[in-house]
Amino acid sequence: MTSTHLAPIIRAEHTTMYGDAHVSSSNGGQMLDGKVIMIAGASSGIGAAAARLFAAEGAQVVLMARREERIQALAEELTASGAQASACAGDVTRPDDVARVVTSAVKIYGRLDGAFNNAGWATAGTRLHEDDEADFHRVLEVNLLGVWNCLRQQIPAMLDSGTGGSIVNTSSHAGVAATGASAAYVAAKHAVLGLTKAAAADYGRDKIRVNALVVGATRTELMEEVISATPALEEAFTSRSAQQRMAAPAEVAQAAAWLLSDRSSFVTGSSMAVDGGATAL
């Protein structure tokens, strides 16, 4: 089911030329002014924070998550503040769901300029030989297959527009090192970085940029559940950061917004650390 909420927003723009890239910015200085951006995993945590930030930065946002009531409420919150937002429930592990959301974005707004592939699911507290087989497959399905499904639908939509676009995939500090998360999660997040680089290389000439966030421990709903189940992990997570703390979801959303904006026009194939300095230690 697709729910749409629209509110007119008019802004003046100017365009600057950098090499082959046309970099637009509004008089108000909004990073994402006028861009149509899909957010997968938008119902809570980093995804919900990103929806609020992207809308505040002038984007028209398409919210995807399994929990329809949550993204519906978030879309209503955003439109009440004068933004343009639509909610389209779906599961990233199902290709038909992703195709429906991308199709909806193009039908409503005319194109797809950007995407934040942020849906995730994790387990922790067990060693590799103790991992439950069903959990192993579920972690790979959500974190790896989910990104794959999104890329396969988002990229053709951007190719059809002829104007390119920007995609940001959420990886993790677990994508560069073993962190105490399950082996499946570590493997999946490593693979997300590989998909990101492959996609960046394949579509760079089409003006489609693909980057990843290497996200450190963040106080999301899922993280709180993990810590509640295994309290000792909180100290382990915070001790890995040079800042000795976890991130707020909005801090991660800020990095995603920059990568989705034209301000990062010469950045593609990168793995940006947003981890409080964990990768520096």
Tally of CB atoms within 10 A around 180: 17
Rounded to an integer, what distance in angstroms lies between the CA atom of residue 44 and that of residue 71? 9
Query: Going by C-beta distance under 8 Å and a sequence separation of 6 or more, which residues neighbour residue 214?
Result: 171, 172, 173, 175, 176, 193, 271, 272, 273, 274, 275, 279
Rounded to an integer, what distance in angstroms lies between the CA atom of residue 109 and that of residue 175? 34
pTM: 0.88
Instruction: Give the chain's mean pLDDT.
Output: 89
Paired residues of 9 in beta bridges: none
pLDDT tens digits, residue range 144-199?
999 999 999 999 999 999 999 999 999 999 899 998 789 899 999 999 999 999 99
Share of the chain above pLDDT 90, in %: 75
Q: What is the pLDDT of residue 237?
A: 83
pLDDT tens digits, residue range 188-234?
999 999 999 999 999 999 999 999 999 999 999 878 887 888 888 88
Q: Is 43 exposed, middle or buried (0-12, 13-18, 19+ CB in 10 A)?
A: buried
Paired residues of 19 in beta bridges: none
Tally of CB atoms within 10 A around 273: 18
Q: What is the pLDDT of residue 230?
A: 82
Placement of tokens 């509004």 in the chain: 26
For 178, phi and psi rounded to 5 degrees?
-75, 130
Q: What is the pLDDT of residue 24?
A: 40
Name the catalytic one among 18, 109, 185, 203: 185
- Per DSSP, the three-state class of 225 is helix
* Helix pair angle (133-140, 183-203), 10° resolution: 20
Q: DSSP states of 118-179 as a string? A: ------BSS-GGG--HHHHHHHHIIIIIHHHHHHHHHHHHHHHHSS-EEEEEE--GGGTS--
Q: What is the pLDDT of residue 136?
A: 93
| Residue 18 appears among annotated catalytic residues | no
Rounded to an integer, what distance in angstroms lies between the CA atom of residue 82 and that of residue 96? 31
Question: Of 14-23, 89-98, 170-179, 229-238, which range is least confident?
Answer: 14-23
Query: Across residues 104-110, what is the average pLDDT?
Result: 97
Q: What is the pLDDT of residue 8?
A: 34
Judged against a pLDDT cut of 50, whether residue 6 lies above it is answered with: no
Confidence of residue 123 (pLDDT cuts 50, 70, 90): confident
- Per DSSP, the three-state class of 48 is helix
